[in-house]
């Protein structure tokens, strides 16, 4: 399982994948990145590298999907969590919060400059 954690650390900010079922073995449905798909197409061998690492030959596209690969799903989940935390860190306060901050009562100042409570 450490290999999926290592792979999750190397996941780019925005991950676009294509689900593909492996032809041989347990007919697991792996996730393939767009770059790995393009590389597989360019090589012309019909082999693609899954997000979790193995290179496989996909089943026919008319075949029913296989069981989802748990390692691919872990990597996708880590990617989504990382993207969500980045968005939360950099997001401005919402419109309602900004309006409420403008509306909040401010402490009045006395003539000597001290706050009146």
In tens, the pLDDT along 27-66 reads: 899 999 999 999 998 988 889 999 999 999 999 888 888 8
Task: Give start and end residues of each alpha helix (H) in 10-56.
Answer: 34-43
pTM of the model: 0.58
Please count the other Cβ atoms lying within 10 Å of the Cβ belonging to residue 46.
11
Give the model's pLDDT for residue 1: 47
Per domain, the residue ranges of the chain are 2-103
Question: Of all residues in the chain, what percent carry a pLDDT higher than 70?
Answer: 69
Q: How far apart are CA 43 and CA 20, in angstroms?
A: 17
| Six token digits for residue 73 | 């799903």
DSSP codes of every residue in 58-88: BPPTTSPP-EEPHHHHHHHHHHHHHHHHHHH
Give the model's pLDDT for residue 32: 94
Pick from 15, 46, 19, 14: nearest CA to 31: 19
């Amino acid at each position: 399982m450490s290999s999926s954690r290592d792979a999750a650390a190397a996941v780019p900010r925005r991950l676009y994948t294509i689900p593909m079922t492996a032809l041989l073995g347990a007919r697991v449905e792996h996730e393939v990145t767009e770059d790995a798909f393009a590389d597989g197409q360019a090589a012309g061998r019909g082999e693609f590298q899954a997000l979790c690492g193995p290179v496989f030959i996909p089943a026919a596209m008319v075949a029913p999907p296989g069981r989802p690969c748990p390692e691919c799903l872990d990597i996708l989940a880590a990617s989504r969590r990382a993207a969500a935390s980045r968005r939360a860190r950099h997001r401005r306060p919402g419109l309602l919060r900004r309006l409420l901050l403008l509306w909040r009562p401010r402490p009045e100042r006395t003539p000597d400059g001290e706050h009146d409570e």
